[in-house]
Structure 1
């Protein structure tokens, strides 16, 4: 339950369902939730820290313990239905829930063409996933992958909801500043280095760039800003709880990912009526953005295209406003009430 896209989705759905169901969240590792949870939600964990498996035998031993703990929690909380997110949790939850004859809906959050499992986990996925009542994914490309070994009528596309806690803090009366933002983990897949280089190249006076998030490449990116002579114009916020302040006041959202499961930050920025530029990466952005109508799509790793679109938006306030208004029309379909009710239809079928 740290910061992150999947964690925000779990929090958003849990808070929504807590109004009509008894909700328990079981995490593999004991963590303090980054996002605010409804006080009625019960939190359980399996271990305080993960023991890295040294070989196949230790892996089997560690995961067997986790399954036993999950089963214990399912029994003690009188669970009627399991919703699971992420590959490891999906496999463990399926084994635990099916052994207790509890229905289980699993959800994959990443692109399986990019993030591949080792041979051991690949076999576990192909053995367990067909046993799920439903498998929820975010795009047709990902659906096609899982349909090769899971019955097609079990694989469903459901969008990620925008957190109600976040959407309720939208404030269109706020004045927008000459600021470009990027929201996401600072790693090679999010490719913020491309954005930093593009920002340095266009060198627009009075504009600043804010990178919201943290990750293993933060120090490298901080060094890069010094090398590019833009350190005084780039802000690294780390993980924050008030991202809505930037969505309300920044002027441009730039998304440079090489791949996505579903781009949560992009749809959030669109909901806040920001002018958005995104790579046309697999998967998600092209399902949300209609190029030049409600945002801009650019090629992955294409710095020159990014520079061109940034300059176009920086120099044209009217264009920024029009793209932002169209973006909001698209993003409204991702409000939690609409998305969560589609999840609820699945829940009602199984309990």
Structure 2
């Protein structure tokens, strides 16, 4: 299948959750042998109009991000010339959705919109217009799907497709050291690690160990809080780890705690659950993490530090695992299949199959 991805900015311009997700989806299809082209602002040196990386061919529709008007004017005609089977566009900026829609009409190809929402979903004239253009809007969670519907999207065209993980990779990594509780996230103002530390402090009289993975501007504050709570001897801050090291840590841990107050999709938690961890989620209105544990017998949803401490105790009665087959549906191949099914449904509806 020939797939045209549209994103004015890519992860090579600005590294955000949205751009990471978009690159992941592009590379999912490239790895399966599809013809994957991404139409974007140029980001590479030299005069070449195209640049290939990890099986994805990037095409410079404009010379750089300062030439947005040129990008929007040229995009419909570039897409028409490319003759893709499907056009898959990022929702940001909203103006590019309208340009991609015109390109979809000229190319007679269905339009799919990827709306990740890590910066929220702004209710503007442009974003409202964008909701009416695609055949499908894909969001990473029901939370973001709700935000998109609230600004006017037809609920019938909003689909949820999660971030993928690599289950085979989990199997290949040897488990790390045993630890009772693990937390992983960038330690910034949204980390809300204090909830976990306060919960652990409630269990000060019991035998447990905890590990915090990640770094950031609030790390020193959280380390000081652990000292103030007199639990610093049992909480280890290990800083940033690469993915292999994180998988090893998750396979060795018993519980993964998710307390961040904003999260459109809990990717690290998903890796940990698939690696066998019991999941404990502190509920927040702007976090979708609870969606992963609802209706699951190895997951707990809490609303306070006291409940979190009780959940940690209850989790101790569950067996330790190093892999959980229940999360195979989030594997890269399964997620790619969901996108392909969506593409083919749209093609069939337009009489293109």
8 Å Cα contact 1:279-1:297 kept in structure 2? yes
Shift in Å, 1:198: 2.7
Q: Does 1:269 align with 2:272?
A: yes
Q: Does 1:10 align with 2:22?
A: yes
Shift in Å, 1:169: 2.9
8 Å Cα contact 2:255-2:277 kept in structure 1? yes
- Equivalent residue number for residue 111 of structure 2: 104
Summarize the alignment of residues 334-345 of structure 1 with structure 2, pairs less than 5 Å apart. Answer: 334-345=330-341
Q: 1:186 to 1:335 in 2, by over 3 A?
A: same
- Equivalent residue number for residue 164 of structure 2: 161
Q: 1:70 to 1:245 in 2, by over 3 A?
A: farther
- Equivalent residue number for residue 95 of structure 1: 98
More helix as a share of residues:
1
Give the Cα–Cα distance (whole angstroms) in 2 for the partners of residues 274 and 48 of structure 1: 46
CA RMSD of aligned residues (A): 3.7
TM-score (norm 1): 0.73
8 Å Cα contact 2:176-2:248 kept in structure 1? no
- Equivalent residue number for residue 261 of structure 2: 258
Q: May I ask how many residue pairs the two structures share in their alignment?
A: 318
8 Å Cα contact 2:95-2:126 kept in structure 1? no
Give the Cα–Cα distance (whole angstroms) in 2 for the partners of residues 23 and 298 of structure 1: 42
8 Å Cα contact 2:177-2:249 kept in structure 1? no
SS in 2 for 1:24: strand
Give the Cα–Cα distance (whole angstroms) in 1 for the partners of residues 329 and 284 of structure 2: 21
Q: 1:215 to 1:45 in 2, by over 3 A?
A: farther
Q: Does 1:39 align with 2:54?
A: yes
- Equivalent residue number for residue 308 of structure 1: 310
Of residues 83, 87, 94, the one that matches 1:82 is 87
More strand as a share of residues:
2
Give the Cα–Cα distance (whole angstroms) in 1 for the partners of residues 111 and 143 of structure 2: 23
Summarize the alignment of residues 292-331 of structure 1 with structure 2, pairs less than 5 Å apart. Answer: 293-299=297-303, 302-313=304-315, 316=316, 318-321=317-320, 324=321, 328-331=324-327
Give the Cα–Cα distance (whole angstroms) in 2 for the partners of residues 218 and 68 of structure 1: 45
- 196-205 vs 9-18, which moves further: 196-205
Of residues 126, 129, 142, the one that matches 2:128 is 126
Give the Cα–Cα distance (whole angstroms) in 1 for the partners of residues 136 and 211 of structure 2: 41
- Equivalent residue number for residue 192 of structure 2: 191
Give the Cα–Cα distance (whole angstroms) in 1 for the partners of residues 198 and 306 of structure 2: 10
Q: Does 1:333 align with 2:329?
A: yes
- Equivalent residue number for residue 177 of structure 1: 178
8 Å Cα contact 2:255-2:279 kept in structure 1? yes
SS in 1 for 2:98: helix
TM-score (norm 2): 0.73
- 97-106 vs 261-270, which moves further: 97-106
- Equivalent residue number for residue 220 of structure 1: 221
Shift in Å, 1:30: 4.5
Q: 1:132 to 1:170 in 2, by over 3 A?
A: same
- Equivalent residue number for residue 237 of structure 1: 239
Structure 1 residue runs without a partner (length 5+): 32-36, 52-61
Structure 2 residue runs without a partner (length 5+): 1-10, 45-51
Shift in Å, 1:251: 2.3
SS in 2 for 1:257: coil
Summarize the alignment of residues 278-289 of structure 1 with structure 2, pairs less than 5 Å apart. Answer: 278-282=281-285, 284-289=288-293
